[in-house]
Chain A
Amino acid sequence: RKEVEQDPGPFNVPEGATVAFNCTYSNSASQSFFWYRQDCRKEPKLLMSVYSSGNEDGRFTAQLNRASQYISLLIRDSKLSDSATYLCVVTNQAGTALIFGKGTTLSVSS
C-alpha cells in the first residue's frame, strides 16, 4: 500500500464551482499534514497545513480525520488561477521529513 494515496484526476470544473479532493495515508504515526500546490513545470509550494479541527484559508478548507487516516481539501468558487496539481503531504513517523502523494490535477475553465 502506498503511503499517501490520491485520485490523480484530472478534475475539470467550470469557474465558480466547488471541488473537493481526498487523500488517505497509511502511517497512523504521522503527526503533521499539509496540502501543497504545484503549478505546471514549477516547484511545489505549501498551500496550507491541515489540523484535526479543520481549518480554512479564504476559499480553501482542509479537514483531517485521524481515525480514518483521511485528509480532504475543499475549494469553493474556483478560479482559473486554481488550475494546478494539489499534493497531499504527511510527515514521516519521526516528523523529520515529508511524504508526498502523487497529486490530483485540477483544471478550471471559463
Chain B
Amino acid sequence: DAGVIQSPRHEVTEMGQEVTLRCKPISGHNSLFWYRQTMMRGLELLIYFNNNVPIDDSGMPEDRFSAKMPNASFSTLKIQPSEPRDSAVYFCASSLVGGIETQYFGPGTRLLVL
C-alpha cells in the first residue's frame, strides 16, 4: 500500500497568498483527518471527515481555513489569505470509521509563510 500521500511536501509562500494542501488517503479508509503541528501548540486536529462528510471542524482556526473532500480518494486544505502564523507542518491522516486506533499519517506538508 502506498500509504497516505500528501503534496506538496514543502511550500514557501508570501503573506496574503492562497495555499492549497492536498491529501490522498489510504484506499479503503473512510475517515480523513487534517492536523497542524507547531512547537508551541503541538499536534492539533483541524477537521475530520467520515465518508467524505465533514464531521467536526471546530479545530479550524478561522474563516481563512477551509477543507473539502470531494471524493473518497482526495481532500484539500486551503488557506486564503495565508499569514506568517500559519507556518507549521500540516498532516493528513486516514483510518477506517470506527478504527481510530489504526490511524495512519502522511509525511506532512511543511508550510512557511513569509
Q: Give me the interface of A with B, judged by CB distance under 8 Å.
A: 32, 34, 42-46, 49, 87, 91, 95-103
Name, among A87, A97, A102, the residue most crowded by chain B CB atoms within 10 Å (CB to CB). Answer: A97
Q: List 11 A-B contacts (CB under 8 A).
A: A43-B105, A43-B106, A43-B107, A43-B108, A44-B43, A44-B91, A96-B55, A97-B56, A100-B35, A102-B42, A103-B42
B54 to chain A, nearest CB (A): 12
B36 to chain A minimum Cβ distance, whole angstroms, is 11
**Apart from A95-B100, A96-B48, A98-B103, what are 14 other A-B pairs with CB-CB below 8 Å?**
A32-B101, A34-B101, A43-B108, A44-B91, A45-B105, A46-B102, A49-B101, A96-B50, A97-B33, A97-B56, A100-B35, A100-B43, A102-B43, A103-B42
Inter-subunit contact A99/B45 (CB<8 Å): yes
Q: How far is the CB of B80 from chain A (nearest CB, A)?
A: 25
Do residues A46 and B42 form an inter-chain contact, with CB atoms below 8 A?
no
Q: How far is A97 from B48 in the complex, measured between Cα atoms in Å?
A: 8
Q: In the complex, are the beta carbons of A42 and B100 less than 8 A apart?
A: no
Q: Considering only CB atoms and an 8 Å cut-off, how many residues of chain B contact the other chain?
A: 21
Residues of chain B with a CB closer than 8 A to A95's CB = 100
**Interface of B (DSSP majority class):** strand
- Contact: B42 with A91, CB < 8 Å? no
Indicate which residue in A42, A46, A91, A98 contacts B107 across the interface (CB closer than 8 Å).
Answer: A42
With A43-B108, A44-B43 as known contacts, state yes or no: A96 contacts B100, CB within 8 Å. Answer: yes
Contact B91 A43 (CB under 8 A): yes
- Please, how many angstroms separate the alpha-carbon atoms of A49 and B103 in the complex? 12
Given A42-B107, A43-B106, A97:B45 Cβ within 8 A = yes
A residues within 8 A CB of B101? 32, 34, 46, 49
| Closest residue of A by beta carbon distance from B91 | A43
Query: CA separation between A32 and B95, bound complex, in Å?
Result: 15
Query: Shortest distance in angstroms between B14's beta carbon and chain A's nearest beta carbon?
Result: 24
**Which residues on A sit within 8 Å (CB–CB) of B56?**
96-97
The smallest C-beta distance from B31 to any residue of chain A, in angstroms, reads 8
